[in-house]
C-alpha cells in the first residue's frame, strides 16, 4: 500500500467510526482493526502496529470520556500521537555545522540509492553555502567510482576515489585527509554495499568507520523493501553506530511503513527522504507534517 493510500485508509476508518450512532467499544475496535490492516499492508512491522493498538486503547478509555467530549477528535489525536511516537526516536541526530569539518559516512545495501543520496546530501548543503566533498570508498561494485564522479562533476562537488586501489579503508582515509586539508566542511564517505547483509560488508563498514571516525553515520534504506525493513535496519545498527536514516524512493510505488520500522530499529531519526532520481528530489523529513499529511 503506498503512502497516500495508507493515509486514505486511516482517515476512512476514523470517518466510519464517527458515522456510527454511538462510539462504543465495538466501533473503536473496528476502527483500530481497520488501521492495523492498513499499517501492515504498508509494511509497518507487526510488533509496532500491535503496540500502537494497545497504547491507543489505553489512552482512549471510552467509559471515562465524559459526555459531550468529541470522541472522534480524541481518538484521531491518539492515533496521530502514536504514529509520531514511532517516527520520533526522542533524540535528534548529530547535525554538522557549516564552516566546521564534519565527516559523514553513508551505509546501506547495494541498490538502496546510497550513491545517489550522497550526492543529493552534498548538493543540498552546497546550495546553502557549505563546502562539501565526496569520497568513493566503494571498491566492490564496478562502476561505483564512475557513478560518483559523474554525479559530483554535474553538481561541481570535489570528489576522491581510485580506479586502481582496491582497499576501501585506504581510499576512505586518504580522501578524508585530503579534504580536511582543503578545509571542506562536509566530507561525505560513500561505502560499498552488497546485495545481502553479509559478514564481509559489515566488516568493511566497521573498518572504514574506524579509519575515518565519522561524526555521523547515515543508514540509507529503500522504502520499497517491505517487511524486511526492520531487520535490515537493525542489522546495520548492530554493526556500526548508525545515527540517522534516509529513506529513498518515496516517490512512485514506495511503501511508507518502512520508515516507521527503520526508526524503531535504529532508534535514530529519519532526516531526509529521496523522492526521485534527480539531484534536487530530496526533502527534509519532519515527523509532524509527515504524519499530518498521512492522515489527510
- How many other C-beta atoms are found inside a 10 Å radius of the C-beta of residue 9? 18
* Residue whose C-alpha is closest to residue 39's, from 17, 16, 78, 9: 9
**What is the full DSSP assignment across 226-237?**
GGGHHHHHHHHH
Site for ligand GDP in 41-60 (CB under 6 A): none
# chain residues binding ligand GDP, by CB under 6 A? 17
- For residue 81, with 0-12 CB atoms within 10 Å meaning exposed, 13-18 middle and 19 or more buried, which class applies? middle
Cell of 249: 524512493
192 binds ligand GDP (CB under 6 A): no
Q: Which of 193, 214, 257, 269 binds ligand GDP (CB under 6 A)?
A: 193
Judged by CB, which is closer to ligand GDP: 32, or 247?
A: 247
Per-residue mark of binding to ligand GDP, 116-135 (x: CB under 6 A): x-------------------
Q: Which of 7, 108, 132, 269 binds ligand GDP (CB under 6 A)?
A: 108
Strand order in the sheet with 132-137: 159-160, 132-137, 186-191, 102-107, 216-222, 242-248, 270-274, 282-284
As measured in angstroms, the least distance from the Cβ of 150 to ligand GDP is 11
Judged by CB, which is closer to ligand GDP: 30, or 283?
A: 283
CA 18 to chain centre: 33
Per-residue mark of binding to ligand GDP, 243-282 (x: CB under 6 A): -----xx-xx---------------------xxxx-----
CB 223 within 8 A of CB 250: yes
CB 160 within 8 A of CB 179: yes
As measured in angstroms, the least distance from the Cβ of 207 to ligand GDP is 19
The stretches of 160-198 forming alpha helices (DSSP H) are 168-181
Among 113-121, 122-130, 154-162, 238-246, the segment contacting ligand GDP (CB under 6 A): 113-121
289 binds ligand GDP (CB under 6 A): no
Q: Which residue is nearest to ligand GDP (CB)?
A: 274
As measured in angstroms, the least distance from the Cβ of 142 to ligand GDP is 12
Could you list the residues that contact ligand GDP (CB under 6 A)?
Answer: 108, 110-116, 193, 248-249, 251-252, 274-277
Amino acid at each position: 500500500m503506498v503512502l497516500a493510500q495508507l493515509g486514505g485508509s486511516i482517515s476512512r476508518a476514523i470517518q466510519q467510526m464517527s458515522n456510527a450512532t454511538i462510539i462504543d467499544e465495538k466501533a473503536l475496535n473496528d476502527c483500530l482493526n481497520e488501521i492495523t490492516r492498513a499499517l501492515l499492508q504498508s509494511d509497518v512491522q507487526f510488533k509496532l502496529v500491535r503496540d500502537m493498538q494497545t497504547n491507543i486503547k489505553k489512552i482512549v478509555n471510552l467509559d471515562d470520556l465524559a459526555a459531550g467530549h468529541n470522541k472522534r477528535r480524541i481518538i484521531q489525536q491518539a492515533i496521530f500521537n502514536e504514529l509520531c511516537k514511532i517516527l520520533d526516536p526522542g533524540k535528534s541526530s548529530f547535525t554538522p555545522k557549516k564552516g566546521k569539518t564534519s565527516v559523514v559516512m553513508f551505509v546501506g545495501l547495494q541498490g538502496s540509492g546510497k550513491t545517489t543520496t550522497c550526492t543529493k546530501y552534498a548538493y543540498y548543503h552546497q546550495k546553502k553555502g557549505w563546502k562539501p566533498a565526496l569520497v568513493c570508498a566503494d571498491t566492490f561494485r564496478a562502476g561505483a567510482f564512475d557513478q560518483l564522479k559523474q554525479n559530483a562533476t554535474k553538481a561541481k562537488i570535489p570528489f576522491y576515489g581510485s580506479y586502481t586501489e582496491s582497499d576501501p579503508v585506504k581510499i576512505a582515509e586518504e580522501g578524508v585527509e585530503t579534504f580536511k586539508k582543503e578545509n571542506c566542511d562536509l566530507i561525505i564517505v560513500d561505502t560499498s554495499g552488497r546485495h545481502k547483509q553479509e559478514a564481509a560488508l559489515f566488516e568493511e563498514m566497521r573498518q572504514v568507520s574506524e579509519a575515518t571516525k565519522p561524526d555521523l553515520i547515515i543508514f540509507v534504506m529503500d522504502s520499497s523493501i517491505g517487511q524486511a525493513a526492520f531487520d535490515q535496519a537493525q542489522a546495520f545498527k548492530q554493526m556500526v553506530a548508525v545515527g540517522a536514516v534516509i529513506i529513498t524512493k518515496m516517490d512512485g510505488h514506495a511503501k511508507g511503513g518502512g520508515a516507521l520500522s527503520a526508526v524503531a530499529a535504529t532508534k535514530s531519526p529519519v532526516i531526509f527522504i529521496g523522492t526521485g532520481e534527480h539531484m534536487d528530489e530530496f526533502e527534509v523529513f519532519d515527523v509532524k507534517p509527515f504524519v499530518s499529511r498521512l492522515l489527510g
